[in-house]
Amino acid sequence: MNAAGDRSDPVFGRLRGEPHRRFNPLLDEWVLVSAGRTHRPWQGRREPSASDVLPPYDPGCYLCPGNVRANGERNPTYDATYVFTNDFSALRPGTTTERIEDGLLRAEGEEGACHVLCFSPRHDLTLALMPPDAVRRVVDVWADETAELGRRYRWIQVFENRGEIMGASNPHPHGQIWAGSALPRDAAKEDAAQRQYRERIGRRLLLDYAGQEEGGPRAVEENDDWLVVVPFWAAWPYEALLVARQPVTRLPALGNAQRDGLADILVRLLTRYDNLFGLSFPYSMGWHQAPFGDGGDSHWQLHAHFLPPLLRANVRKFMVGYELLAETQRDLTPERAAAEMRAASRTHRAADDGWPATDESVPATAG
């Protein structure tokens, strides 16, 4: 029996074994939970589970220090983090903002910017394997990029696609920042839900949620400033929500201790993820922070979503059929997912498996 046994859930225990729907108050939508279906036979696609052993420097990598990128520019021989403008930006500054309407057909120009952030000069590291001070530097860059782009744009989306099956184009540890002038779909939904809650209840939705989950059956990691929980309404099997426990609207507002605490809990969460199936766990993660220039933002609570696709070591969940046509459905209860994550070790298995050592020094071959 794992830690779940100590964390009973008297309220929802009755529903847990039966098909039921759960409400997602952030997106104002429902998810169907059908526990037990994980045992059905699977003869479909299997994902490769072995984590490749990577060199610390790859002469063919367009993100490694000193290498030439796809557009011909050369990266500096950076030794910590490195930010550059995406050579294939989906949003660009100075594009038209014209709006066109013709009956039901509407379109508008969208101005913005796309940056790429290399987390480390080391090709073979991941956030989970980087030293704490290096992860803290990434937190600082996320905050600085948000502040800088926020002077000009409304929605700043900081995110990371990790692993081939999430569409990461390169194993070199990196993330992206997209900034735009409109509120994208999920941002608009979360903004509206948090605003309504604030108006109705007088408090921040996610702070109330964090208070309700602390120490409970869905909590995975906690420290003074942060809580990691598999949300009650999670869509992906091992989805996680990382939420600040004090009122804070955006990354740049985080103080020194909160940033250190964030680096610490990030590594703890990502280590548990990697240890869950003994492989470098793929996911998309991203920050949701208050939009800029909208006036009052006391309804917003800073948080990050971790959306990993794997259901088992080499079987991914596909969002198809019912999910695409009706509503999201999950097979594994969030409580069980959280218990498995708590049971996974907090010490990275890399050491036994010949994964890279936690040391950021760039080998002499780089350049």
Residues engaged in binding ligand H2U (CB under 6 A): 62, 69-70, 86-88, 116, 161, 168-170, 176
Q: Quick one: 61 or 129, whose CB is closer to Zn ion?
A: 61
If the CB atoms of residues 61 and 179 are measured against Zn ion, the closer one turns out to be: 61
CB of 322 to ligand H2U, least distance (A): 28
Q: Give the per-residue SS3 of 249-276.
A: CCHHHCCHHHHHHHHHHHHHHHHHHHHH
Burial code (b: 16+ CB inside 10 Å, e: under 16) for 261-279 equals bbbbbbbbbbbbbbbbbbb
Catalytic: 288? no
- Residue number, 124 or 274, with CB nearest to Zn ion: 124
Residue whose CB is less far from ligand H2U, 83 or 183: 83
Handedness of CA 115, 119, 120, 125 (dihedral sign): negative
Smallest gap from Cβ 170 to ligand H2U, in A, equals 5
| Alpha-carbon distances of 100 from 104, 106, 107, 113, rounded to whole Å | 11, 6, 5, 22
Binding at 123: pick from Zn ion, ligand H2U, none (beta carbon under 5-8 Å per type): Zn ion
Which residue of the chain is nearest Zn ion when measured via CB?
A: 61
CB of 285 to ligand H2U, least distance (A): 11
Residue from 174, 288, 303, 348 carrying the catalytic annotation: 174
172 binds, among Zn ion, ligand H2U, none (CB under 5 to 8 A by kind): Zn ion
Backbone angles phi, psi at 204, to 5 degrees: -85, 130
Q: CA 74 to CA 249: how far, in whole Å?
A: 36
Binding mask 49-68 for Zn ion (x = CB under 5 A): ---------x--x-xx----
Of 336, 334, 344, 345, the closest CA to residue 230 belongs to: 334
218 contact choice in Zn ion, ligand H2U, none (CB below 5 to 8 Å, kind-dependent):
none
In the bound state with ligand H2U, the residue whose beta carbon lies nearer, of 70 and 104, is 70
What b/e readout covers 170-179, taking b as 16+ CB neighbours within 10 angstroms? bbbbbbbbbb
- Cα distances (Å, whole numbers) of residue 273 to 90, 297, 341: 30, 33, 7
- Residue 104 interacts with which of ligand H2U, Zn ion, none, CB < 5 to 8 Å by class: none
| Window 111-130: contact mask with Zn ion (x via CB under 5 A) | ------------x-------
Position of tokens 């590291």? 125
Q: Write the interaction track for Zn ion spanning residues 155-194; mark x where CB under 5 A is met and - where it is not.
A: -----------------x----------------------
CB of residue 172 to Zn ion, shortest distance in Å = 3
Q: Would you tell me the crossing angle of helices 205-213 and 185-201 to the nearest 10 degrees?
A: 80
Q: Is 76 within 8 Å of 112 (Cβ atoms)? A: no
Binding site for Zn ion (CB under 5 A): 58, 61, 63-64, 123, 172
**Any idea which residues carry the catalytic annotation?**
174
